[in-house]
Amino acid sequence: MPETIESVAIQLTVNGKRRSLRVEPRTLLVEMLREHLDLTGTHVGCDTSYCGACTVLLNGAAVKSCTVLAVQADGAEITTVEGLEQNGQLHPIQKAFGEAYGLQCGYCTPGIMLSALQLLTRNQQPSEKEMRKAIAGNTCRCTGYQNVFKAIQLAAQIMKGA
Ligand code: FES
Ligand code: FES
């Protein structure tokens, strides 16, 4: 008879909301977000921790949520792409990606926007080299990145003016 796996109780804050749930110890953070909390804006693009489509903020730091166990996020604050919009207003990063055509198919975009948010929270005026480094873990197969950099620069301007 197969052994049953005991689920574990965890509590965390996701996009400002307290959440309590039970997960198996092997559940990945990305799985928990998508399948337990229905936050499907966090994408899965590989099974090798390469693509960065699954990037979220964990206590303000960009992490690949396919490389973090949900139980490791117990007590943490998580921000996903769904948490960027506030009171019906797009976040400056979301506005900038739209205005600067920083996306095509959009599959990579939630992850790139969260890497950009980590960067702009720490550095209001990043150089191109700093932007390249900030999104080095995010793969985009469509844009060639030039408009992504334009979008991050525009977001920086909007955030400074806000
Ligand atoms: S899904 Fe590709 S790095 Fe996480
Ligand atoms: S916009 Fe298609 S992968 Fe980046």
Q: pLDDT digit string (tens) for 36-75?
A: 999 999 999 998 999 999 999 999 999 999 999 999 999 9
Closest approach atom of ligand 2 to CA 106:
1
| Bridge partners, 61 (sequence order) | 58
Q: Residue 4: what pLDDT?
A: 80
Mutation pick for ligand 2 pocket among 81, 143, 145 (CB with most ligand atoms within 8 Å): 143
Distance from the alpha carbon of residue 49 to the mean position of ligand 1, in angstroms: 4
Taking alpha carbons only, the member of 43, 68, 69 closest to residue 139 is 43
Distance from the alpha carbon of residue 41 to the mean position of ligand 2, in angstroms: 14
Q: Answer yes or no: are the C-beta atoms of 96 and 158 closer than 8 Å.
A: yes
Distance from the alpha carbon of residue 2 to the mean position of ligand 2, in angstroms: 42
Q: Residue 162: what pLDDT?
A: 61
Q: Residue 89: what pLDDT?
A: 97
Question: Which residues of the chain fall short of a pLDDT of 50?
Answer: none
Q: What is the pTM of this model?
A: 0.95
| Bridge partners, 58 (sequence order) | 61, 78
